[in-house]
Amino acid sequence: MQGKIAIEEHFALGKADEDTARRLQHAESWAETARRLVDIHELRLRDMDKNGIEYAILSLNAPAVQMILDTSEAIEAARRYNDYLAEQVARRPDRFGGFAALPMQDPEAAARELTRCVRELGFPGALVNGFTQKDVPDSVIYYDLPEYRPFWACVQDLDVPFYMHPRTAVYERAQPYEGHPWLFSSAWGFAVETSLHILRLIGSCLFDEYPRLQIVIGHLGERIPYDMWRIDHRIKTIPAGYPAKKPMSSYMKSNVNITTSGHFDDVAFQCAISQMGIDRIMFAVDYPMEVMSDGASWFDSTPLLSEADRVKIARTNTIKLFKLALAA
């Protein structure tokens, strides 16, 4: 179909970052992926035209700012990345939007940068690449910690969604993957890291305190929809002080949205639809980590959707959630 909007589409500034290169250095496709990461207005637009994608919201590839150990450097880098992205969007505002990169090493600075990006640069939200490292390489900081509450208050006040994108585990803490590098990143580890982070946010009572917050996760929900019944059942069966007011599945259906990025499979899609509902699913490709034609052709032809629901997922859900100035 024509007019799709894609919202997990990545770019790199100058060169693809070293962590991404290290993860993909043995992949024959890495050179082409790297070439497409730094391209915005040529290869990317041609692919979008060929695949019926009218508009894409671009975001910095992982882990980027989240792996910068020095806080002041992270703050400067986020601003530089966001200014660059705003310049690219301004060249083709009819085809591109931008997600803010945030220096989560400092929650107050992250809130300031998000505010600037929304109010001055016109970004419709933020995309953060998972947990943050700070000061030492083996640090792992999740955003359910109390010091991030003012940041989440800012997100709710700005009324913009927050996209939680995966990243690989810190190498110093990746012992379970030793000898099994094929599991380390996107095949398995991405979903493990992101789903744990989302469940921590839910369990920390974040959405009880800020009920209007909207989080987005990719890859058809990072496997959470498949396990929602069991998560609720076992938390209830084995009480361990779960503090939130409602079951985790309730928050998934009221405060979390998922995308099709990098998961082009009817069986998983059927589960996601059954658990999350059509109105909480949006189209994405995960370009250029995924081939744009693979994601678009699967979505256009899946028999699971009526044409009305196909339009919702491809376009109108995204326009509504991100308040895009596009015709529904």
Q: Give the residue from 163, 151, 162, 143 showing the smallest Cα distance to 203.
A: 143
- Helix (DSSP H) and strand (DSSP E) numbers for the chain: 15, 10
Q: How many residues does the chain have?
A: 328
Q: Give the residue from 252, 310, 244, 311 showing the smallest Cα distance to 280.
A: 252
- Measure the CA–CA gap between 114 and 106, rounded to whole angstroms: 12
Amino acid residing at 160: V
Other C-beta atoms within 10 Å of 84: how many?
A: 17
Q: Are 322 and 161 in contact (CB under 8 A)?
A: yes
Q: Are 322 and 124 in contact (CB under 8 A)?
A: yes
- Measure the CA–CA gap between 128 and 235, rounded to whole angstroms: 28
Helix, strand, coil distribution of the chain in percent, nearest 5: 50, 15, 35
Q: Which residues are catalytic?
A: 286
Per residue, the 3-state secondary structure of 83-115, as one string, reads HHHHHHHHHCCCCEEECECCCCCCHHHHHHHHH
- Measure the CA–CA gap between 62 and 253, rounded to whole angstroms: 26
